Structure 1
Amino acid sequence: QIDPDMKTTSDYLEEVIEEIGGFGKFQVLLHGSILLSKVSITWSLLIMAFAGAAPDWWCVYPNTTASGAINYNTTVLPSSSPNVTVPEMTKSFQTCTPPSNESSVCQSFVFDDSMRTIINEWGLICDDKWVTATVSSVQMAGLLISGLLGGQLADVIGRKPTFYVSILILSVSNIVAGFSTSWIMFAVTRFIIGLGCGAYLTVFYTFSVEFTPTKFRPIQIAVPDWSIWAALLGFFSYILKDWKSLHILTGGLTGLSLFTWWIVPESFRWLVSHDKLAEADKVIKKIARMNNHPKPDLNKLRAVVDSDPSFQGSRQYTFLELIRDRSLLKTTALAGVGWFSCGYAYYAISYSVDQLSGDLYLNMFLLSVIDIPALMSIWYLSNRLGRRWTCLGYFMIGSAACLGVAVSQMIDVDSGLQKTLINGFALAAKFGVSASWAAIMAFTTEVYPTVVRNIGYGTQNSISRIGALIAPQLVLVNKVTPGVMYIICFVVTLTSAITCLLLKETKDKTISDNLEVRVAGNRK
């Protein structure tokens, strides 16, 4: 039996997890349910990599005549205009300025309709080319806001309701987005999708960690569910080739996750930290039953809680807690550097996929599957080397690869070798950044105590969205000035590697449920 003598509530609950089966059938079902729900967040966030990609396009001028610089073999336009012919598309015609023999502006824009994105849906090129990047930034603004609100909500009303409300928002808003009639309506729905994504991201990992034994904590990150769903997004983009169909499919698949409500209970750690011991008792017994283990004797739980000087019952914590306490403030600032750089670098690389050479769908697939070996290594390395050194190593890989892309793009030589180097370094950069983000995500959940874990985690998610909000704008700049976007990637990831070393190692440490006694005492 568990001996409560000289044990904190955190130590006691850690032993309870082991006593009711450790990582058993219940934990497998829990993590499986979250794996299924990942389609909502993965596709919702990455769908703009396809929806915002520019199909081949050219201008129709009223008086265009042949010149030696351009191949004028005529080509029938897409089926929307079957009786119109224009010169065969060349790079000369993928420009917003007319040829030298034309004084008029474009009579009309013509798009290759082999793929349907928001660009040919609403003609978002030339003077309107800023719209696509702005829509992506608007979405990230939604994530920034809900990262803070979602973290606070999850710590106040619970992990479970916050988790499932976010899934409901994502399901409905993705379907509505698929029926958008203007880019403004689409931008509004993307903002709402961002709100749902932010709430989801603040709670899904902390939710699962609080049911998981110490050595299995990084498993939610190590399983490459995000990468698998991202690769499938590339596959379905190739099959459907239509942004509307992708949004509706995303909403439908997301809705399926709502049925796991009857499988997943509220976090018993959250219940205990809010002095809801009777409800926590029911959850713990349910887990024991599902894991085929005897029900633990929890009669001493009240005595452990009452004797723990750091336990503060039903007290409500807010974001200000991270500022008032120096230790939490330092942790938030140091981890925030890494989260910012990951948010910027990950989405900058993902949203600039159409700037790589070769097939768009293949590049989307490769940028997704490269995450799989990165994420699968996290569990082993985090437990072997520790959280700090794992973060450091992957940030260094990402930093070096970003520098490689920047140098390759700035070399003014249009050759096959240059294109190969850019694509290769971009894949390596994505590998390093994805692994870094996974590592610091696992690290972050362990450095905050349960009573402020979702607030802290939500804050970090919001910090990452500042970087993600900036990323689409730099993707646009990179088209004009190649290399700029990746130079910034290099600087921020290198800085993050340094700040990781200043965080406290949490390998093999019991996660805390309440603030330290010192903090509680200072407030009396």
Structure 2
Amino acid sequence: MAFASLLEHVGGMGRFQVVSVLLLSLPVLMMASHNLLQNFTAATSDHRCRLRPEANASGLDPEALLRVWVPRGERCRRFVTPQWWLLEANGSAPNGSRLETEPCGDGWTYDRSVFTSTIITEMAAMGTCSSFAPTFTVYCLFRFLTGMAFSGIVLNSVSLSLEWMPTHMRALVGTFMGYCYTAGQFLLAGVAFAIPDWRQLQLAVSLPFFGFFLYSWWLTESARWLVMVGRSHQALRELQKVARINGKKEEGDKLDIETLRSHMEKEMTSSGTRHTVVDLVRTPVVRRISFCLCFVWFSTSFAYYGLAMDLQNFEFNIYVIQLIFGAVDIPAKLVSILTITYVGRRFTQAAALILAGLAILANVLVPRDLQTLRTALAVFGKGCLAASFNCVFLYTGELYPTVIRQTGMGLANTMSRLGSIIAPLVKMVGEVFPALPFIIYGAAPVVSGLVAVFLPETRNLALPETVEEVERRTQPQKDEAQHLQVLLQPTQSSNSTGPH
């Protein structure tokens, strides 16, 4: 509670907090455009084999050419020789003839009514990625580096927001940032519809980050963390800056190192201790937290991207389904903020994951011709996973102490990225057994939802500063039981030695 009182002294939830959260939320808003960009830049348009060069010399109209050169319904093969008999109303193959086919030796022809250009059409036809990435390998490298950068952006945005938030505002701020990601999904659908060329689309969603970079230098470092690493004088300057922006300049000027030391004596004492990734598993409670959060983060991301990156498998307009998948986040996150605030983080996390898994598993039992029901279940499951994400970002920041919070968030985000990497690989299994991806996508959240039950509750608790503080939070019940036992011992002793 020491830093919480300092935070109230310099303005609590003031102008600084509002501006800071807005600035940190803008990159999160645009992050959805990159995370889900492949739905549009890598969309597979309807296509067929490009005809042999000599085919155009026949003088036939395009429909007749396709009939004699490309087997009906075939995308990746063409006839070796033209099958002229197919032009006759009741024609049949000549006796002894073989309908021999071959791969698309001259490339493919794509339907450009939805997407004028995607990485699929560009790379199959010309082997080029973009004016900035001359090969597919270079394109993949750039996307890999982008993913690494976004991991750091989201971690720092969430952590820095929580560090400067009063306890009672953390859930609300976390949900607001979650809604920014939801708004980003709507934005992506609109921008992708307006810019069907994938190179221009990629550029449009990337340019804003230069602006984010420029104003990032104004953002204020966490005073908690500065104290923990022994930079108390800088922490004092940051607190005075916050006080000034919040209209509490006089209160900020009264702060000095002695005041800071008296409020955060315990934290300053531990500032000389070096903390590493080993601290995530060194003590029993933090080890349990790390183990459970690895399950939760992996499964949430695994199932989320398994659904969100598979829009083309739904028999709807891809832009409309993107809007629907974004819109479901609005009620889902609203429900999650209510349960987070009034019921608790642990219940919200477990319930969201279990409901998501059950919805995905239910799709295994629904016939494929009931496409509307299948889509509705997938949308419900995606909404539950969005609620899980909304909760876990806040929950993780509250579970880990300041000294290893960023390290813990890094571990959690690594597990999340691992889940998103594996998700499309599992989808490939569907080519052999169509129901298996849904079984795997559904089972993972159910299991992790049960694992989440073992996490400590953090509702209405101040952010922990040290590992020892986290360990002590599980001790009150044990201490109370031991105290009660001590109080009862004299009575038990007198009863055993007294007259009967």
TM-score range, shorter chain: 0.7 to 0.9
Task: Tell me: CA distance 1:262–1:518, structure 2 relative to 1, closer, same or farther (3 Å).
Answer: closer
Q: What does residue 295 of structure 1 align with?
A: 251
Q: What does residue 19 of structure 1 align with?
A: 9
Q: C-alpha deviations, 1:326-351, integer Å up to 9, x for none?
A: 22211100111110101101111111
Which of 254, 257, 269 lines up with 2:224 in the alignment?
A: 269
Tell whether the 8 Å contact from 1:39 to 1:253 is kept in structure 2 after alignment: no
Tell whether the 8 Å contact from 1:210 to 1:267 is kept in structure 2 after alignment: yes
After TM superposition, list the pairs within 5 Å mapping 1:387-398 onto structure 2.
387-398=345-356
Q: C-alpha displacement at 1:309, in angstroms?
A: 7.5
Q: What does residue 157 of structure 2 align with?
A: 204
Tell whether the 8 Å contact from 1:339 to 1:461 is kept in structure 2 after alignment: yes
Q: C-alpha deviations, 1:471-514, integer Å up to 9, x for none?
A: 11122333553232221121111111111110000001111112
Structure 1 distance, partners of 2:180, 2:218, is 20
Structure 2 distance, partners of 1:335, 1:389, is 14
Tell whether the 8 Å contact from 2:27 to 2:153 is kept in structure 1 after alignment: no
Q: What does residue 111 of structure 1 align with?
A: 110
Which of 318, 322, 325 lines up with 1:360 in the alignment?
A: 318
Listed as ranges, the gaps of 5+ residues in structure 2 are 80-97, 473-500
Q: What is the letter of the counterpart of residue 303 of structure 1? A: S
After TM superposition, list the pairs within 5 Å mapping 1:97-176 onto structure 2.
97-98=77-78, 101-108=99-106, 109-114=108-113, 115=115, 116-123=117-124
Structure 2 distance, partners of 1:64, 1:483, is 44
Which of 331, 336, 339 lines up with 2:289 in the alignment?
A: 331
For the pair 1:74 / 2:62, whether they are aligned, the reply is yes
Structure 1 distance, partners of 2:67, 2:251, is 77
Structure 2 distance, partners of 1:73, 1:423, is 39
Task: Tell me: CA distance 1:177–1:444, structure 2 relative to 1, closer, same or farther (3 Å).
Answer: farther
Structure 2 distance, partners of 1:179, 1:260, is 26
Structure 1 distance, partners of 2:464, 2:172, is 19
Q: C-alpha displacement at 1:373, in angstroms?
A: 2.1
Task: Tell me: CA distance 1:98–1:211, structure 2 relative to 1, closer, same or farther (3 Å).
Answer: same
Task: Tell me: CA distance 1:235–1:33, structure 2 relative to 1, closer, same or farther (3 Å).
Answer: same
Higher relative contact order (CA 8 A, sep 6+): 1
Structure 1 distance, partners of 2:143, 2:423, is 16
Q: C-alpha displacement at 1:198, in angstroms?
A: 1.8
Which of 361, 365, 368 lines up with 1:407 in the alignment?
A: 365
Tell whether the 8 Å contact from 2:29 to 2:181 is kept in structure 1 after alignment: yes
Tell whether the 8 Å contact from 1:57 to 1:89 is kept in structure 2 after alignment: no
Tell whether the 8 Å contact from 1:61 to 1:105 is kept in structure 2 after alignment: no
Structure 2 distance, partners of 1:102, 1:234, is 43
Structure 2 distance, partners of 1:463, 1:41, is 18
Tell whether the 8 Å contact from 2:230 to 2:268 is kept in structure 1 after alignment: no
Q: What does residue 476 of structure 1 align with?
A: 428
Tell whether the 8 Å contact from 1:75 to 1:88 is kept in structure 2 after alignment: no
Q: What does residue 3 of structure 1 align with?
A: none
Task: Tell me: CA distance 1:291–1:58, structure 2 relative to 1, closer, same or farther (3 Å).
Answer: same
Structure 1 distance, partners of 2:269, 2:69, is 70
Q: C-alpha deviations, 1:53-82, integer Å up to 9, x for none?
A: 1011112455999xxxxxx98359xxxxxx
Tell whether the 8 Å contact from 2:285 to 2:471 is kept in structure 1 after alignment: no
Identical pairs, percent? 23
Q: C-alpha deviations, 1:422-456, integer Å up to 9, x for none?
A: 21111111101111121122111111000100000
Structure 1 distance, partners of 2:75, 2:166, is 57
Tell whether the 8 Å contact from 2:15 to 2:246 is kept in structure 1 after alignment: yes
Q: What does residue 36 of structure 1 align with?
A: 26
SS at match of 1:462: helix
Structure 2 distance, partners of 1:507, 1:358, is 41
Tell whether the 8 Å contact from 1:449 to 1:514 is kept in structure 2 after alignment: yes
Q: C-alpha displacement at 1:197, in angstroms?
A: 1.4
Structure 1 distance, partners of 2:299, 2:70, is 37
Structure 1 distance, partners of 2:27, 2:372, is 35
| Number of residue equivalences | 440
Q: What does residue 380 of structure 1 align with?
A: 338
SS at match of 1:266: coil
Q: C-alpha displacement at 1:105, in angstroms?
A: 2.4
Q: C-alpha displacement at 1:236, in angstroms?
A: 0.9
Q: What is the letter of the counterpart of residue 251 of structure 2? A: K
Q: What does residue 87 of structure 2 align with?
A: none
Q: C-alpha displacement at 1:200, in angstroms?
A: 1.6
Bigger CA drift: 378-387 or 510-519? 510-519
Q: What does residue 423 of structure 1 align with?
A: 375
Q: C-alpha deviations, 1:326-379, integer Å up to 9, x for none?
A: 222111001111101011011111111111111111111211221122223333
SS at match of 1:104: strand
Tell whether the 8 Å contact from 2:36 to 2:308 is kept in structure 1 after alignment: yes
Structure 1 distance, partners of 2:463, 2:28, is 25
Bigger CA drift: 263-272 or 510-519? 510-519
Q: What does residue 209 of structure 2 align with?
A: 254
Q: What does residue 395 of structure 2 align with?
A: 443
SS at match of 1:295: helix
Q: C-alpha displacement at 1:90, in angstroms?
A: 10
Structure 1 distance, partners of 2:422, 2:35, is 15
Task: Tell me: CA distance 1:486–1:379, structure 2 relative to 1, closer, same or farther (3 Å).
Answer: same
Q: What does residue 506 of structure 1 align with?
A: 458
Structure 1 distance, partners of 2:202, 2:211, is 15
Q: What is the letter of the counterpart of residue 62 of structure 2? A: T
For the pair 1:185 / 2:165, whether they are aligned, the reply is no
What TM-score, normalized by structure 1, do the two folds share?
A: 0.78
Structure 1 distance, partners of 2:2, 2:421, is 42
Structure 1 distance, partners of 2:295, 2:387, is 16
Tell whether the 8 Å contact from 1:273 to 1:514 is kept in structure 2 after alignment: no
Which of 41, 46, 51 lines up with 2:41 in the alignment?
A: 51
Higher-Rg member (1/2): 2
Q: What does residue 406 of structure 2 align with?
A: 454
Q: C-alpha displacement at 1:243, in angstroms?
A: 1.7
SS at match of 2:316: coil
For the pair 1:96 / 2:72, whether they are aligned, the reply is no
Q: What is the letter of the counterpart of residue 269 of structure 1? A: R
Structure 1 distance, partners of 2:391, 2:282, is 27
Q: C-alpha deviations, 1:237-273, integer Å up to 9, x for none?
A: 1111122112111221111112323532111111111
Bigger CA drift: 465-474 or 104-113? 104-113
Tell whether the 8 Å contact from 2:3 to 2:263 is kept in structure 1 after alignment: no
Q: C-alpha displacement at 1:91, in angstroms?
A: 10
Structure 2 distance, partners of 1:378, 1:89, is 56
Tell whether the 8 Å contact from 1:64 to 1:101 is kept in structure 2 after alignment: no
SS at match of 2:66: strand
Task: Tell me: CA distance 1:238–1:445, structure 2 relative to 1, closer, same or farther (3 Å).
Answer: same
What is the root-mean-square deviation in Å for CA atoms of aligned residues? 2.9
Structure 2 distance, partners of 1:488, 1:305, is 47
